[in-house]
Amino acid sequence: MTPPLALTALGVATPLGCGKVATASNLLAGSQAGLAERDDLLFGRAVTVGVVDAELPPGRPADSDCRNNRLMQLVLDEIAESVAAAVRWYGPQRIAVVLGTSTSGIAEGGAAVEQHRRTGAWPDGFTYRQQELGNLAGHAACYLGVTGPAYTIATACSSGAKAFASARRLIRAGLVDAAVVGGADTLCRLTLNGFNAIEALSPTRCNPFSRNRDGITIGEGAAAFLLEPTDGPVRLLGIGESSDAYHASAPAPDGAGAAAAMRQALADAGLSPDEIGYVNLHGTGTTLNDAMESHAMASVFARPVPASSTKAMTGHMLGAAGACEAAFLWLTLSPAYNPQGRLPPHLWDGVPMPDVPPLNLVAIGDRIRFGEESALLSNSFAFAGSNASLVLGRGRVA
């Protein structure tokens, strides 16, 4: 029998707050305080984004310093004690680091190019390493002092979720005994202007699954977990991945690829759809995604399972979304951080989409209605049909 894998430690920083206490409190209360209007990101107009409001630690090492890596350091500090204990138990060479991102240090790269165009000189201390996509995991491994395999997943908006699958494969293959897994993404002008160019941005706050939805809100965030072969209080029960490759940027309208990822995650967990107590929807607020996901949900769940998109509170954290939304499941499952058993609410204008299967969207104050061994599911869907679903559940250790 395959031993269980537990997410024994969590560090998280999103527009909902920094750390588990603040994040859980604001998540379950339905706070949108982390969404703010910025005029320094888009060419020609202001835009609403989700912002991590925290003083970030200085980057170490300096040659890979960027906001993305500093944000990851912030959440690694929250699990540092647990990682140090794992290093003593397993050895530094037996711990992997697998993280997801889509922006890396592109913000610093863009600023460097602008300065070079103005002055002909690069900024002091700027190196290309700051913006390499693979730099995040290597930076984190160096910061933590672990020497096992370290690499970054960059599959757009499924990156942070797919990192869990890669980390689990390393453990099951016997290459490592434990892994630091998660993701980080930070705001940058290139990303915002790219989404604006394809007319995908909402002019205000996103409005997922509403008839009046008009695009995404971009946010930033990071989450890091310690994944170990034990039966801890929150377990990684199942993972599903699919690649429908329907279109470079649009999802398959019938949601077949998304549904396949959910079914695979359920089968991997050995659970039926009726044993899922809540689904964290991908729910970007775009016309195509929300309609597709509604069809996918209806094809997998015969009953109206409680569900919500948390992106109306955080914005879409892109490559970090899957990891951060897994953190939201972790906090929802935790009696320590959610003693009242509340579910993350769905914030919207209350006007349902026509001509699609309805969803059972969570209101503020709704509570978990499932047994101690039941589970929660989270969806992450990306460009080109790169889909991932995660199932987390309570273990036997309180």
Give ∠ CA 325-72-111 in degrees, rounded to 5: 110
Q: What is the CA radius of gyration of the chain?
A: 20
Q: How far apart are CA 322 and CA 242, in angstroms?
A: 15
Question: Is residue 186 within 8 Å of residue 219, measured between CB atoms?
Answer: no
Query: DSSP per residue over 139-158, as a string?
Result: HHHHHHT--S-EEEE--GGG
Q: Verify whether residue 247 is a known catalytic residue.
A: no
Q: Verify whether residue 316 is a known catalytic residue.
A: yes
Question: Is residue 191 within 8 Å of residue 217, measured between CB atoms?
Answer: no
Q: Which residue is associated with the tokens 């991945």? A: 241
Of 18, 157, 188, 206, the catalytic one is: 157
Q: How far apart are CA 326 and CA 181, in angstroms?
A: 11
Which of 234, 210, 217, 222 has its CA nearest to residue 336?
A: 234
SS3 call for 281: coil
Those residues whose C-beta lies under 8 Å from the C-beta of residue 353, and which sit 6 or more positions away, are: 209, 210, 211, 213, 290, 291, 294
Of 18, 206, 282, 295, the catalytic one is: 282
Q: Verify whether residue 157 is a known catalytic residue.
A: yes
Calculate the CA 245 to chain-centre distance.
Answer: 21
Q: How far apart are CA 318 and CA 284, in angstroms?
A: 10
CB atoms within 10 A of CB 240: 25
Of 206, 316, 324, 346, the catalytic one is: 316
Question: Is residue 357 within 8 Å of residue 298, measured between CB atoms?
Answer: yes
Residues classed as catalytic = 157, 282, 316
